Amino acid sequence: MQHTVMQPPVTFSIAGSDPSGGAGTQADLKTFCALGVYGAAALAGLTVQNTQGVRQAVAVDPQLVRDQIDTVLDDLPIAATKLGMLSNAAVANAVADVIEQRREEFGLVVLDPVMVATSGDRLLEEDAVDVIRTRLMRLADIVTPNLPETAVLLGDDVPTARNANDLEQQARALVSAGARSALVKGGHLDDDVLTDVLASAEGVTRFASPRIRTRNTHGTDAR
């Protein structure tokens, strides 16, 4: 009798690195493994950081980013892709170009628009924000910004949400701005019960959970 060996789904992280292993592609690969899926990764940026903060961040050459992505797509069947820290406009445009050209090969695309580390260190150059807003947000199946990132993506001096109702309005606004769906994370609110909001053309869902008071926030992006 011939037995069929089940292969785990392949997930693809396109993001920056964290040599301390708490964030970026290193954390993505750990998460993929914990969930029983096979993880692949293309580095879009290099950082010098640890749990205390970011000391330096350097973008990877855009063509090298593109080559990494093409090489993975040429070999592995990707079920889902997570986009994280994309460094600058040249890198973000290179990623957007290859997604537009090979969209079906990326599977479900999750855009986590990493702009600022939990420590407060900036990880995304200003020129990349417009690329994320006008190109990548429309290519992704879901965008998952925190509160400050949501305000930046909406532009026009939109203030950061101050409560769950603001959160819901801004999640809806991201969908109106072109996102297929948006999961806005409420970790920056100072409530004891935290609220995340998922918005799409089908409606809005709120998720609530108790806050865990801790100083160990490296890699959380404030949820």
- Which of 10-19, 50-59, 71-80, 134-143 has the weakest average pLDDT? 50-59
pLDDT in tens, 154-180: 987 777 767 878 888 999 999 999 999
Grouping H, G, I as helix, E, B as strand and the rest as coil, residue 182 is strand
Every domain of the chain and the residues it spans: 10-210
pLDDT in tens, 90-137: 999 999 999 999 999 999 999 999 876 555 556 677 788 899 999 999
* CATH fold of the domain at 10-210: UDP-N-acetylmuramoyl-L-alanine:D-glutamate ligase (3.40.1190)
Q: Report residue 142 as tokens.
A: 């879901």
Strands 193-200 and 203-210 turn out to be antiparallel
pTM, rounded to two decimals:
0.86
- For every residue of 47-95, DSSP letters joined together read EEEETTEEEEEEEPPHHHHHHHHHHHHTTS-EEEEEE----SHHHHHHH
